[in-house]
Amino acid sequence: MQLISDQIAGYLERSSWIRRMFESGIELKQQYGAENVFDFSLGNPDVPPPAPVADALIALSQEVVRPLGLGYMPNAGYPEVRTMLAQRLSSEQGVELGPEHVVMTCGAAGAINAFARAVLEPADEVVCPAPFFVEYGFYVEHYGGKLVPVKSTPLTFELDVAAIDRAITSKTRMVLINSPNNPTGQIYTHDEIASLVAVLEKHSERHGRPIFLVSDEPYRFLAYDGIDVPPVLDAYPYSVVLGSYSKSLSMAGERIGYLTVNPGIEDVEQLLAGIVFTNRTLGYVNAPAIGQRVLQHVGAVEVDTNIYDERRRAMADVLTGAGIQFTLPKGAFYFFPQIPVGDDDAAFVRTLMEEQVLAVPGSGFGYPGYFRLTFCIDKDIIERSAESFKRAVDKARAE
């Protein structure tokens, strides 16, 4: 007896790889011991939150005992927190923002869902470079839309702007990008953004309605080697930027994020009112009060990104030693290497599992022939996985 809708049943099947890897990880750790299983499957940041987060929570424990200390607030979030973020985002994006242009959300996922619900009509299309975060398709389809993936260049994962141009139709409502990218670690350059904007301007004029450029930026803080993450708001009038503090403050479970819109959008007040309404009526009501107050206390503090950079280099050494081809990620905490033989990424992931290595096949991210590894785990675990990767590659090539 099926108790859920056909749509959700289909979603469960499509997203089953990550669930299976999680379950397999539990089984392998029980069988071999947690210290002998190399779990690169989930992007759960393990670096402890910065010390000021703990200080903020201690201070909050005294503040929240007052009446309404954790009560309702405006649905867009605490005004003082939005003011602080507006100032920070103005500097980051090169556009003057006020608190009225910022909506606090339940993580970046909540921001995408609130925005999609506010702007999508049934059958609208959302163009997205592939590989992409697996949940994007579900978010869009929840509101009657359709995700249209467009493959990025093999191995380097640069935007194929010409292919995006061909994919846009009269039904295209937004282009959704993620930079630094999950799962590739790619950061789109100023030139790539400028080329994409030219395409969006052309199609917006041709089809008589604006195409939104939505930039999902929870990893903006995590860029390596001095690489700049280009701003989007100052590049295109109909732009929206969203992000979260799940990674930068190691507070993934607190679900605190934001959405900000280009203040130059025509009738921007109507758009913001729609987003605040959907943020409320999708059941979020408002972003977590404690998370907002923590942000207010800690300001611009972030985790030590050098820790992630050391792990990135360790992971690169392991993959190079195993003879696996990859592009060094410019940001975030993922590698997206090419499988060593053939194009069956699921088969290679199963081979890795036989060597107690957990990864996720690239087909789950809309890009077969590759696999994702996260390096938000201890450097020692990464280094100890080297022989397991070598054995898995040798086994795959021998089959």
Under CATH, what is the fold of the domain 69-298?
Answer: Aspartate Aminotransferase; domain 2 (3.40.640)
Instruction: Tell me the pTM.
Output: 0.95
Position 17 scores a pLDDT of 66
pLDDT tens readout for residues 173-218: 999 999 999 999 999 999 999 999 999 999 999 999 999 999 999 9
Position 69 scores a pLDDT of 79
Exposed e or buried b per residue across 346-371, where buried means at least 16 C-beta atoms within 10 angstroms of its C-beta: bebbebbbebbbbbbbbbbbbbbbbb
Torsion sign across C-alpha atoms 158, 161, 163, 169: positive
Same CATH topology for 6-49+304-398 and 69-298: the answer is no
pLDDT band at residue 236 under the 50/70/90 scheme? very high
Is the backbone of residue 206 left (phi > 0), alpha (psi -120 to 50) or beta?
alpha
Hey, what CATH class is 6-49+304-398 in? alpha beta
Q: Which burial class, exposed, middle or buried, applies to 5 when counting CB atoms under 10 A from its CB (0-12, 13-18, 19+)?
A: exposed
Residue 270 Cα distances to 50, 62, 100, 267, 276, angstroms: 38, 38, 12, 6, 10
pLDDT at 128 over 70: yes
Domain ranges in the chain? 6-49+304-398, 69-298
